[in-house]
Amino acid sequence: GESVGLHLPTLSVQEGDNSIINCAYSNSASDYFIWYKQESGKGPQFIIDIRSNMDKRQGQRVTVLLNKTVKHLSLQIAATQPGDSAVYFCAENIDSSASKIIFGSGTRLSIRP
Amino acid sequence: GAGVSQTPSNKVTEKGKYVELRCDPISGHTALYWYRQSLGQGPEFLIYFQGTGAADDSGLPNDRFFAVRPEGSVSTLKIQRTERGDSAVYLCASSLYEGSNEQFFGPGTRLTVL
């Protein structure tokens, strides 16, 4: 069925360290996996996506890894900054010809000074 | 440039009342989406429009919920006979084209049903 979940609800990281946010999914048929960031009081903001036929994709300070064998997705943030504090959602787009995105329940990332 | 805007930012109503929530998408974006977000949860898909037509309304919880986008730009989400369980943040998003993973979200309307 359609299911996107997260291993940890909260993550605390020292400023300057790398952050790794993990996500498990159950629908092997999804076309894309996506990460969104949501700051307090705001709507979610797109970070990066990865097509299901890829293993890795890099953006600015972020890397997404996809392991289809164990149905695992991760978001790595390099040199974490205070502005990275937010809730991070993994999501999946089951059919890229349509636009129905299924969101998981989120991981809160907090940054220690 | 201007992002997605939603009005009102907060709406408090009584059980049984009718409410309308408005979304102004980014100019030129053809696809528009409505989500509902409860505290501590991810956004839950409700409906999306491609142009004026509802391409997928499978997420609407029941027939009390209805949305329109008559001119392919502004959209209104309408909730009849509101219930306390309808209390949530209603998010609107738009994207340049249908199928895009990059959806641009508005700040949401916080609906409280007393």
Residue-level pLDDT, tens digit, chain B, 114 residues: 589 999 999 999 999 999 999 999 999 999 999 999 998 899 999 999 999 999 899 999 999 999 999 999 999 999 999 999 999 999 999 999 888 899 999 999 999 999
Q: Which of B33, B104, B107 sits opposite A99 (nearest CB)?
A: B33
Q: pLDDT-based confidence at A28, cuts 50/70/90?
A: confident
Q: Is A10 within 8 Å of chain B by CB?
A: no
Separation between Cα atoms, residue A1 and residue B79, nearest integer Å: 29
Residues from chain B that touch A44, judged by Cβ atoms under 8 A, are 43, 91, 93, 103, 105
- Provide the pLDDT for residue B1: 57
> In whole angstroms, how large is the CA radius of gyration of chain B?
13
Chain B contacts to A (CB-CB under 8 A): 4, 31, 33, 35, 40-45, 48, 50, 55-56, 58-59, 91, 93, 95, 98-108
The string of DSSP codes covering A18-34 is: -EEEEEEE--TT-SEEE
pLDDT digits (tens, 9 = 90+) for A36-84: 999 999 999 999 999 999 999 999 999 999 999 999 999 999 999 999 9
- Provide the pLDDT for residue A25: 86
Q: Element (H or E) spanning B46, and its range?
A: strand B44-50
Is A107 within 8 Å of A87 (Cβ atoms)? yes
pLDDT at A99 over 50: yes
Burial (Cβ within 10 Å: 0-12, 13-18, ≥19) of residue B14: exposed
